[in-house]
Amino acid sequence: MTKSNIGFIGLGLMGQGMAANILKKGWPLQVMAHRNRAPVEMLVAEGAREAKTPREMAEQCDVIVLCVTGSPEVLSVIGGPDGIASAGRPVTIVDCSTSDPSVTTKLAADLAGSGLTLIDAPLSRTPADAAAGTLDVMVGGSESDVQRVWPVLECFAGRIIHTGPTGSGHTMKLLNNFLSMGYAALYSEALMLGRKAGLTPEVFDSVIRGGRMDCPFYQTFFRWVLERDPNAHKFAIRNGFKDMSYLAGYAIAAGVANPVGAAVRNSFAQAVGAGRGEDYVPMLSDFIAEANGLE
C-alpha cells in the first residue's frame, strides 16, 4: 500500500511522541517548528521533512494532524494567508487538540465547502503513552472519513473509539477531562483536609491505593504527592482551566446546570490567578495546601 504524505503541527509534550511514531511506522512525514526547534531537528534527523508554513505543508500532504492547545490555535493554523485552507487542496485535517466542540462543528461545516475535511481526534493518557504509541483516541467524523485516517491514528494509539459525527470527539474529551480534573480537585482538597486532621499523604495513600477508589490517574497524581516526581503527569494547570472553561461554555449553550463543573473550574482558576498555571496538574495539591495555611 502506498502511504500518504502526513503533516504534523504541534510538536509539544504529546505531539513529538505521536509524530515520532508516525515516522517509525513508515509514513512520509512533514513537520513544522513553533517555539521549540529541538523536536523538529530530532524528527528531521530521522527522515522527516520540515515545512515553513501550514500552507506549504498542505500543498504537499494529504493528511495533516494538529496537536495544538485549543480552538484559537486550530483556527489560526487553518485560516489566514499562510494557513492550511489557503493551499486550495482537498486535505484531511485531524484535530487532536482539546478544542471547543461548537467551534469544531462550525469549522467542519465551513471547510467542507472548500473541499477540506475536519475530523476531531482528541487524546487521553500521558506524554509517556504518546511516545509508546498507546494513547486513547476519541474520533468524531463520518464512517468513511474516520476509516481513511484510522491507519494513521493506529501509529500512536493503543485504543481508538469512534464517538460519532464531527464534534463528538471533542465533546467526549471534555467529559473525560471533567472527570480527570475533577479527581485532581478532589484529591487536592481531600489531602488538605486530611493534613488539617493530622493524616499524612502516606496514610491517605495507604488507604486509597489498591482499593475501589484507586485508578491510573490517582497513581500518576500521587507520584508527585509522594515522590515529588515532576514528570508524573505533564499536563499544565492552565490547560485544565481552559478545558473546564470549554465545558462551562458547553453547559451554558446546552442550557443545563453544571455546578460540580463550576467548582472544579474554580479550583483551577484560583491556581492560575495565583500564577501557578504552568505547574502540572498534580501540583494543584500544593496550591490548595498553601492556600489553607499548610506547607
Which residues form the catalytic set? 173
Rounded to 5 degrees, what angle do the CA atoms 90, 150, 72 make? 60
As a whole number of Å, the CA-based R_g of the chain is 20
Strand 157-164 relative to strand 135-140, pairing? parallel
By the 10 Å C-beta count (0-12 exposed, 13-18 middle, 19+ buried), 25 is classed as: middle
The overall longest dimension of the chain from CA atoms, in Å, is: 64
**Grid cell of 271 as nine digits:** 491556581
Q: Is the dihedral of CA 25, 29, 33, 34 positive or negative?
A: negative
